[in-house]
Amino acid sequence: MTQESAGRSGLKEWIFTTDHKKIAVMYLITSLVVFTLGLLLAIVMKAGQWSPGNSLVGPKLYNVLFTIHGAGMILWWMIPVFTGFFANLLVPLMIGARDVAFPRLNALSFWFFVGATVMAVLALVTPGRLDIGWTGYPPYSIKTDANTSLYVFAVHLLGASALASAVNFLTTIITMRAPGMTWGRLNLAVWGIFGAFIIQLFGIPVIAGAVTLLLFDKYLGTNFYNATMGGSPILYQHLFWFYAHPAVYVIALPAFGIVSEIVSTFSRKKIFGYTSMVIALMAIAFLGFDVWIHHLFTKGVEDWARIVQSLLTLLIAVPTGIKVFNWLATMHKGSIDFKAPMLYAVGFITLFVIGGVTGIGNGLLAIDIDVHDTLWVVAHFHTVLSMSMTMVAFAGIFFWFPKFTGRMYNERLAKITFWIILIGSLLAFVPYFKLGLEGMPRRYWSYPPEFTSTYRVTVIGGFILIAGFFMTLINIVRSAFAGERATANPWNAKSLEWTIPSPPPSYNFETIPVITAGPYEYGSPEEGKKALPEEAEAF
Amino acid sequence: MKRFLTFAAVSLLFCLPSVALAEEVDPVKSWDNHFRLYAILVTAIWVLVTVLLIYFSLRYRRKKGQGDGASIHGNIFLEIVWTLVPFIIVVLLGVQTWAVFQEYRKVPKNAYELNVQGFMWGWNVTYPDGIKTTNELRVPVGTPVKVNLTSKDVLHAFYIPEYKVQEEAIPGRTTYFWFLPTKAGEYRAYCTEFCGAGHSLMLAEVHAMDKADFQAWVAKYKEAAAALSPVEKGKKLVDGLGCLGCHTITGEKSTGPTLKGIFGSSVVLSDGRKIIANEEYIEHSISEPKRDIVKGYSPIMPPYKLSDEDLHAITEYLKTLK
């Protein structure tokens, strides 16, 4: 969207583009479309849970709805918005490059992603609708009449897209940093994206293999997961979660980076403990690969393996805690301006701690023996994904909105929707913790009558939340066309992407900049002398 | 900080010996203690973070004309504190969870053993006396109960919220869990592994019965069984234990060899030996199926612990299948 062509650029220019900023916008549009679809499915599911045994949805449709909702929200909204939209938008601008290392490969990644999206939509509307859950566990996914192949091929295409992106962005970050842009001067958002793509690179081949074997078992008569012929259905779960657990950090690491950018910019303070932030990001990326068995704590896995992976799971709380306390310390003695992105970031921190500490509950082997596959788990991962990570996605979209559209979003509407989303999320998901502890399993279309009133709270909360999300979507779409014109640096931020016009010209930088300082050079030195945070010592 | 460490050390000392010293182990009690400690610690962390967040948000809100915040890039001491304290907390919780998990896995020697098989969509329960029920688990209060779990078709999971325990039912494999019924009553059991259209309705009732009631219930069943001849009893066992899931009585091959005409026939084993299927062979093929595997079949049959009388009855029944 260069200035002279904005508004006049033809469709052709978008389809054949290799410009990372245009590709970023197309990723955002595609994933927002699937996000909207996921919300619509959630509305139907929620409506059907107003009373137990409600016939509005029924068991068969419910199984299809939660399958597409889960797959869509994770594989088409959360992962692509961070590794597609934010990675494309931010990496070249933040490292001082004119584009990614392989621009045409980047376009191919995007179009593979579109192909996968078309398949996912087909899986919803063609006969043999998917009812296997986004996890697709055999033997059920093999025995059912559902068109498992469509899902498998969609995962293959997504995987090809993500692997190409991983190679592309890792190469870009390693080799194309501007002169003076040392590893110690990289934005934390770039570090987060770097960690995310390392996970993609090592994890995706495994899940691609796992679903391929599923396809062979179902259509070619092989027996990899067939217990009666010497295979093992649990093998699939190991292979699946070997990627699908680290995939959570593919979402979380860039999100952590984005929160760091926002907290530092709006507190007008250096990020507290830059080095420990980087170490924490990389530690999470590494540990993330050693904890998948916590998804199999009640699946007859060897006792010792469960204990080892329980302890490793708990260790992830340590680097995660470091990040939370460093954000707090960054706000301490800051000069905090509560623009919408900052409001979302602060909301994220408190909600994310709920998600994080309930994750410790899942990770505690003995506790998990009770809460596994109950609504407790559903509450946990919706607190992390739907509440925390989606909030970061919105925070980031608003923060860089002036940069990638050249226009400002509606500040007042964004602030109002923050409170609607916060209240809606708490009402929709916190009661699930209670239901889970009372023994209510997940993926149940109906429920025992004694849970009716708690379910109704979640239904009402869900509708409030969805209203908030739709208001955000309206804000994004409306402001993209009719928002106020933005200046190059509306936040007066110090990071590299704000030194060029909004929106940036297609070549980004007229001359490649020479970097002499880090991205968070805020702070008045005379105040720093007397500033030693005492409050935190109370801990 | 010091106080916290003392608290941590005391809790640690408290949770470890309780495993060794308790007279009658009940994982539910240990679970409750474990969950309480966990809930207190993590709630404290959340409150701390949220209070600081709100305080900083109000205290350091930008005033008109204010410039940048203070120039602070970090503080090694603080960073060590918030690395070490969470580390200590998770190690403490991790050690406790380990201890509680061991209670879950160590089945008391006097446990009453049940076999439960999940299917789309329900639960078959087989008792040591050959009694069979569906979607109904009757257990005596005060005696530990061990459940050997498997599945007929797809993955299921058997979950009893009252006893805070669940385990996966996996086709071709036997998993186990145990619990201690402490109070008479009726409790719900759910399937917690998604298994298709009937998943939401795959419930079972757990009846914890006082010992006398339970014995009366068993006696009533046994009485009915005692009136049977050995052959009739054997047929009932073969039908009830689910043998026919893998063995036919019509002469066709299935997952396992057919039972038709098996008694007295000559059998080639996987190691090449050739033997005659006599009483002894039939009986140890049921109690120790992996000892002699018939050539061409996989060693996947789980062992069945039956009384000598039941084994004899089955053999008598097999003799009639010609």
What fold characterizes domain B112-224?
Answer: Immunoglobulin-like (2.60.40)
3-class SS string, A304-318: HHHHHHHHHHHHCHH
With contacts defined as CB-CB under 8 Å, which chain A residues touch B52?
328, 535-536
Which residue from A175, A173, A28, A196 is spatially nearest to A91, judged by alpha carbons? A173
B17, pLDDT greater than 50: no
- Tens digits of residue pLDDT in B281-315: 888 888 888 888 888 887 777 777 788 888 888 88
Report the distance separating Cα A521 and Cα B69, nearest Å: 11
- Amino acid B107 reads V
Which residue from A86, A90, A84 is spatially nearest to A114, judged by alpha carbons? A84
pLDDT computed for residue B5 by the predictor: 56
With contacts defined as CB-CB under 8 Å, which chain B residues touch A378?
none
Q: Which residue in chain B is spatially nearest to A364 when comparing CA positions?
A: B97
Report the distance separating Cα A504 and Cα A466, nearest Å: 33
Where do the DSSP E strands lie in A155-217? none
In a domain, A535, yes or no: no
Write phi, then psi, for A463 (nearest 5 degrees): -70, -35
pLDDT computed for residue B241 by the predictor: 74
Greater confidence (B140 vs B132) lies with: B140
Kindly state whether B85 is in contact with chain A, defined as any CB-CB distance less than 8 angstroms: yes
Interchain pair A360, B42: CB under 8 A: yes
Judge contact between A433 and A358, C-beta under 8 A.
yes
In a domain, A420, yes or no: yes
Report the distance separating Cα A405 and Cα A399, nearest Å: 11
Buried b (16+ CB within 10 A) or exposed e, B233-257: bbbbbbeebbbeeebbbeeeeeebb
pLDDT computed for residue B12 by the predictor: 55
pLDDT computed for residue A4 by the predictor: 46
Kindly state whether B56 is in contact with chain A, defined as any CB-CB distance less than 8 angstroms: yes
Long-range pairs of A507-513 with CB within 8 A, sequence gap ≥ 24: A507/A98, A508/A92, A508/A93, A508/A97, A508/A98, A508/A99, A509/A96, A509/A98, A509/A178, A512/A96, A512/A97, A512/A98, A512/A178, A512/A179, A513/A96, A513/A178
Region B109-129: what's the mean pLDDT? 92
Kindly state whether B1 is in contact with chain A, defined as any CB-CB distance less than 8 angstroms: yes
Interface of B with A in 194-233 (CB under 8 A): 194-201
- What are the helix (H) ranges across B60-159? 76-105
Q: Is A198 exposed, middle or buried (0-12, 13-18, 19+ CB in 10 A)?
A: buried
Kindly state whether B17 is in contact with chain A, defined as any CB-CB distance less than 8 angstroms: no
Which residue from A206, A223, A41 is spatially nearest to A123, judged by alpha carbons? A41
Work out the angle at residue A431's Cα, subtended by the Cα atoms of residues B202 and A354, and round it to the nearest 5 degrees. Answer: 115
Judge contact between A130 and A150, C-beta under 8 A.
yes
pLDDT computed for residue B192 by the predictor: 96
Kindly state whether B296 is in contact with chain A, defined as any CB-CB distance less than 8 angstroms: no
Q: What is the CA radius of gyration of chain B?
A: 28
In a domain, A530, yes or no: no
- Taking domain B228-319, whether its CATH number is 3.40.50.800 is answered by no
**Mean of the per-residue pLDDT values of chain B:** 87
Q: Which residue in chain A is spatially nearest to B76 when comparing CA positions?
A: A273
CATH number of the CATH domain containing A226: 1.20.210.10
Kindly state whether B69 is in contact with chain A, defined as any CB-CB distance less than 8 angstroms: yes
Best B2, B45, B62, B97 member to test A by mutation, with max A CBs in 10 Å, is B97
Judge contact between A203 and A245, C-beta under 8 A.
no
Domain boundaries in chain B?
Answer: 2-54+74-105, 112-224, 228-319
Q: Which residue in chain B is spatially nearest to A234 when comparing CA positions?
A: B170
B8, pLDDT greater than 80: no
In a domain, A154, yes or no: yes
| Interface size between A and B, measured as CB pairs under 8 A | 289
Average pLDDT, 10 consecutive residues per value, chain A (539 residues): 52 90 96 94 92 86 93 95 97 96 96 93 84 92 89 94 97 96 96 97 96 94 91 95 95 97 95 95 94 94 94 95 96 94 96 95 95 96 93 97 96 96 94 96 93 95 94 96 94 94 94 92 60 39
In a domain, A7, yes or no: no
Interchain pair A364, B196: CB under 8 A: no
With contacts defined as CB-CB under 8 Å, which chain B residues touch A268?
62, 67-69
- What are the helix (H) ranges across A48-132? 58-71, 79-80, 87-95, 103-125
Query: In angstroms, how far apart are the furthest CA atoms of chain B?
Result: 101
Interchain pair A300, B35: CB under 8 A: no
- Amino acid B158 reads F
pLDDT computed for residue A76 by the predictor: 95
- Tens digits of residue pLDDT in B71-106: 888 889 999 999 999 999 999 999 999 999 999 999
Q: Inter-axis angle of helices A58-71 and A20-47, to 10 degrees?
A: 160
Work out the angle at residue A506's Cα, subtended by the Cα atoms of residues A160 and A36, and round it to the nearest 5 degrees. Answer: 50
Which residue from B168, B201, B157, B118 is spatially nearest to A63, judged by alpha carbons? B201
With contacts defined as CB-CB under 8 Å, which chain B residues touch A144?
196
DSSP one-letter code for A441: B
Sheet holding B185-191, edge to edge: B136-140, B204-209, B185-191, B156-160, B165-169
- Tens digits of residue pLDDT in B29-72: 999 999 999 999 999 999 999 999 999 999 999 988 888 888 88
pLDDT computed for residue B6 by the predictor: 58
In a domain, A539, yes or no: no
pLDDT computed for residue A524 by the predictor: 64
Q: Which residue in chain A is spatially nearest to B34 when comparing CA positions?
A: A367
- For residue B48, give the nearest of A317, A361, A539 by CB distance: A539
Q: What is the count of structural domains for chain A?
A: 1
Judge contact between A103 and A18, C-beta under 8 A.
yes
pLDDT computed for residue B236 by the predictor: 78
In a domain, A11, yes or no: no
Interchain pair A140, B168: CB under 8 A: no
pLDDT computed for residue A437 by the predictor: 96
Contacts of A180 (CB under 8 A, 6+ apart): A514, A515, A516
Report the distance separating Cα A448 and Cα A441, nearest Å: 11
Report the distance separating Cα B17 and Cα B240, nearest Å: 44
User: What ipTM, to 2 d.p.?
Assistant: 0.90
Judge contact between A196 and A144, C-beta under 8 A.
no
Interchain pair A533, B82: CB under 8 A: no
Report the distance separating Cα A244 and Cα A253, nearest Å: 15
Report the distance separating Cα A109 and Cα A116, nearest Å: 11
With contacts defined as CB-CB under 8 Å, which chain B residues touch A63?
194, 196-197, 199
Domain that holds residue A356: 25-521
